[in-house]
Structure 1
Amino acid sequence: MPTVTLPYGKDSIPYQIPDDRFAGELVSHLREYQAPASQADLVAAALANPIGSPRLSELARGKKNVVLIASDHTRPVPSKVIVPQMLAEIRSQNPDADITILIATGCHRGTTRDELVGKFGPQIVQDEKIVVHDCDESEMTHVGQLPSGGDLVVNRIAVDADLLVAEGFIEPHFFAGYSGGRKSVLPGVASRTTVLYNHNAAFIASDKARTGVLDGNPIHADMLYAARTVGLAFICNVVINEDKEVVYAVAGDADEAHRTGCRFLASKCQVDAAEADIVISTNGGYPLDQNIYQAVKGMTAAEACVRPGGVVVMLAKSNDGHGGEEFYRTFRDEKDLGRLTSTFLSTPKDETRVDQWESQILARVLTKASVVYVSDAPAEMVTDMHMTPAHSVEEGVTKAEQILRDQRASIVAIPDGVAVMVV
């Protein structure tokens, strides 16, 4: 019987699927990709050969106030590899630069000190000036209107920078097309008002707001405009494998370099859909499977494969629970998915509710298929969110069979639902 290995938290779970029920395993080709150099050397080479931009060291000449936007605790960015080299590059031509590392939390909770140490190592946390963005409490500046009409309001630290740069990583993103690049600014260090407008229901419903799509994507268009307007001058983004190691790095212009990285990723992680009655997916393990909110991403890969009326068995440890109070209450308080979706679509852009976008996408998945949710989250919480709780893969598949009333239902496995682009 084929055995698939499913990431769960910081561990992984092997699961055997009977031959006569196995309809395929969808994996990113990054799994077998052999990086041509070490992680540090890949980043160094990218910084030495930027795309569409002078070197970071040249950009830093004469700049007093330099801000480096870094990812938060919800992203498996190998910041220990990237940030020290970016800091060294800046200081090589500007040793007296006043550098602030601004943590791009978007609308997430604040990153803790222990999480910062985990991301950067103790030395950077001790030696560098680090500020955690708060979309509600940080001092903000209005810098214009987005192409879609919303107010562009961004953390003043980023706006006031003489040089604004960012680190990050590129992965498939279920409505922005890809992560990385311009997302460091919006949603990374934008106000809640701006993020909510950008994530409005009409945009989320667009057939261009999908994994792997940038051109024509209204969400991406706003994000790129925000990055340009605020002056994001340079990025260093990486692509990582299933072990969260750098296998590719790109640096330079926030759009041109980012698109180069996206093309590389697409060449490695696009897979053809394989239809099945049951689709098992994960969120790639820690840190992306810490809550139900983030796990919706992995569900969308399964959504592309599961037959209408089928079952998604989603594995996500969810040790942090639901991940968003409004997100949770939306499903707890409304049992009719059709009415829920209608409510989203009738909500004006400037009245978008907190986490509405994630709710809208989860409702879309649940409208197509049932979801059995394998996690450490309280069973009542999972049930409140219109899903069936389970605590092991075996239990999850058994419950899927019970829903389908079919113990011979076909099964597709997607070991990392956020690492593949199902087409």
Structure 2
Amino acid sequence: MPGKTIHIAFGRGHLPVAVPEQAQVTVIRKPALPKLPDQAAAIRGALDAPVGARPLRALAAGKGSACILVCDITRPVPNRLFLRPMIEDMVASGIPLDRITVLVATGLHRPNEGEELAELIGDPWVLAEVKVVNHFARNDEDHIDLGTTPTRGTPVSIDRRFMEADLRIATGLVEPHFMAGWSGGRKVVAPGVAGHKTIRTFHSARFMEDPLAVQCNLVGNPLHEEQLQIVRMIGEVYALNTVLDEDRDLVHVTFGEIIESHLAAVEYIRGATAIPVGRRFKTVVTSSAGYPLDKTYYQTVKGMVTPLDILEPGGTLIIASQCSEGFGSAEFREAQERLVTLGPDRFLATLLAKSLAEIDEWQTEMQLKPMRRGHIQLYTTGLDDEEKRITGVETITDIDGAVAASIARHGDSAVAFIPEGPYVVPLHGVGGA
């Protein structure tokens, strides 16, 4: 008999999942974060009272040009709220509009253009008044070579439009990141506007297999440490960092020196995002956080990795992801085909021999982690039969039936639901629930 229905993020809405009457359901989500009474006032306050820096108007005074980094379409950053106030501050301080560039920090993702770019920027005035362009990591000539990082020797090249600007600002969303600990801040710079060799070094097996390169961890995380060294190599860089709640409303914003302002945002969200759970589960149901993160299967892998701490070894992880844009890049598709052909062990062996990862194969490497832990089932409406085959996981068409079957198979009625997917990090063995 049917029991209760749990709604999880899926596309631009939610997917209802009916659970059997006998199921013992634990829903894991962030606590309600206090809404900002006035989002515009909060942004104004952050720009006027920065962390570790002078107010934006003072920073812009005497500068001849500026470059503002924004995340690409895969991140739901509320650019519509802050880009115009930032640009107007710069103009008021003497920087001409035609000397201000908004640069989309694509990393090695595809560019955002046309209607998608308009959606990303969210403000027609910004698109009309300043130059808005994409970063292309594969174009070596578009970057300035800064040498190598002092600790691990990562080759560093950064988009020259950012490097040559007098005022450099990164903007982004602070959320758990399954390799770098937390997104936002320094991550928008590298890999955001780094050259392909920098990015491919970050994503090589020597970084990816490091046990400290995990979500919500910055201590000893090799990716985070390299990112800090890179922003220090660049010089003066500032950042505006946003935090969203489950409704995608802005609930916190910081501005200031890139490292200090990012850490301030991390401290605000850390306690609400890393959720203590007192046990592990043989059945875990999660999402890929809905639109825009579940546009592709490539991004869906993040939702598979984040809940692993509460998945019982040998358990079943069921993930729902619309994949409205399909599979992902041609390079990711090729990596997945190799995974299916070679098997997980042989595929990983090919990665360990490389100092530079092939483009997008690192997401396939991350998929090995949930595959080692348990059985993965994917509910999607956006992949064709061949794409489903090369996911390397079991695809399902009935998520309600899959939940019921997992309960029966494991002989355990306890089910964990994570409606917001990788934006919430459940942790076993910390506290109780």
- SS of the equivalent of 2:423 reads coil
Give 5+ residue unaligned stretches, structure 2: 428-433
Note if contact 2:19-2:400 (Cα within 8 Å) is conserved in structure 1.
no
From 211, 220, 232, give the equivalent of 1:216: 220
* Aligned ranges 1:61-140 → 2 under 5 Å: 61-96=61-96, 98-120=99-121, 121-137=123-139, 139-140=142-143
Structure 1 residue 103, shift from structure 2 partner: 0.6
Q: Tell me the amino acid that sits aligned with residue 90 of structure 2.
A: I
Aligned equivalents of 1:40, 1:117: Cα separation in 2: 20
**Structure 1 residue 406, shift from structure 2 partner:** 4.7
Instruction: Go from structure 1 to structure 2 and tell me whether the alpha carbon gap of 1:155 and 1:145 turns closer, same or farther (over 3 Å shift).
Output: same
SS of equivalent to 1:366: helix
Deviations 1:278-312, CA, capped at 9 Å, x for gaps? 11111211001001111111111232221111111
2:305 paired with 1:303: no
Q: Which residue of 2 aligns with 1:382?
A: 388
Runs of 4+ in 1 over 4 A off after TM superposition: 398-401, 406-409
Mapped partners of 1:183, 1:28: distance in 2: 23
Structure 1 unaligned residues grouped into runs of 5+: none
Worse-superposed segment, 172-181 or 409-418: 409-418
Q: Relative to structure 1, is the Cα distance of residues 209 and 406 closer, same or farther in structure 2, using a 3 angstrom cutoff?
A: closer
**Following superposition of structure 1 onto structure 2, how do residues 2-401 of structure 1 map, counting pairs within 5 Å?**
2-18=4-20, 20-29=22-31, 32-96=32-96, 98-120=99-121, 121-137=123-139, 139-146=142-149, 147-273=151-277, 274-335=279-340, 336-344=343-351, 346-349=352-355, 351-376=356-381, 377-397=383-403, 400=406
Change (3 A) 1:109 1:72: same
Name 2:431's counterpart in structure 1.
none
Cα distance in 2 for residues equivalent to 1:288 and 1:374: 15
Q: Percent identity?
A: 27
Instruction: Give the counterpart letter for 2:208 in structure 1.
Output: I
> Does the aligned pair in 2 maintain the 1:67–1:165 contact within 8 Å?
yes
How much does 1:94 deviate? 1.8
Letter aligned with residue 133 of structure 2: V
Q: Provide the C-alpha distance between the structure 2 equivalents of 1:244 and 1:202, rounded to a whole number of angstroms.
A: 35
One-letter amino acid matched to 1:382? K
Offset of 1:389 from its aligned partner?
1.5
Query: What secondary structure is seen at the aligned counterpart in 1 of 2:294?
Result: coil
Displacement, 1:21? 2.3
How much has 1:209 moved relative to structure 2?
A: 0.6
Structure 1 residues 343-396: Cα deviation after superposition (integer angstroms, max 9, x where no partner): 22x2232x3221232111101111211211111212331222211122442244
Gap change, CA 1:44 and 1:202, over 3 Å in 2? same
1:247-287 per-position Cα deviation (integer Å, ceiling 9, x unaligned): 00111011111001001111211212441111111121100
Q: Report deviation, 1:172.
A: 0.5
Cα contact 1:242–1:284 (8 A) shared by 2:
no
Partner of 1:318, secondary structure, is coil
Q: In the aligned structure 1, how far is the partner of 2:236 from the partner of 2:20?
A: 51
Cα distance between partner residues in 2 of 1:84 and 1:19: 51
Please give the alpha-carbon distance, in whole angstroms, between the structure 2 residues aligned to 1:255 and 1:25. 34
Deviation of the 1:230 alpha carbon: 2.0
More displaced stretch, 277-286 vs 220-229: 220-229
Aligned residues: 417
The separation in 1 between residues aligned to 2:115 and 2:36, in whole angstroms, is 33
Using the TM superposition, give the Cα deviation of residue 19 of structure 1 relative to its aligned residue in structure 2, in angstroms: 5.4
Residues 200 and 359, structure 2, Cα contact 8 Å, conserved in 1:
yes
Q: Deviations over 1:76-99 (max 9, x none)?
A: 000001211211222221252510
State the secondary structure of the residue aligned to 2:422: coil
Structure-2 change in CA distance of 1:123 and 1:392 (3 Å) = farther
- AA aligned to 1:116 is L
Superposed CA RMSD in Å reads 1.8
3-state DSSP of counterpart to 2:312? strand
CA contact (8 A) 1:374 1:396 kept: no
* Deviation, structure 1 residue 144: 1.9
**Amino acid of the residue matched to residue 324 of structure 1?**
S
C-alpha distance 334-72 of structure 1, shift in aligned 2 (>3 A) = closer
Change (3 A) 1:253 1:2: farther
> Deviation digits for residues 289-347 of structure 1, max 9, x if unmatched?
00111111111123222111111111111112221322222232333212222322x22
Greater shift in the superposed pair: 112-121 or 5-14: 112-121
- For 1:153, the aligned partner's letter is S
Contact 2:63 2:95 in 1 (8 A): no
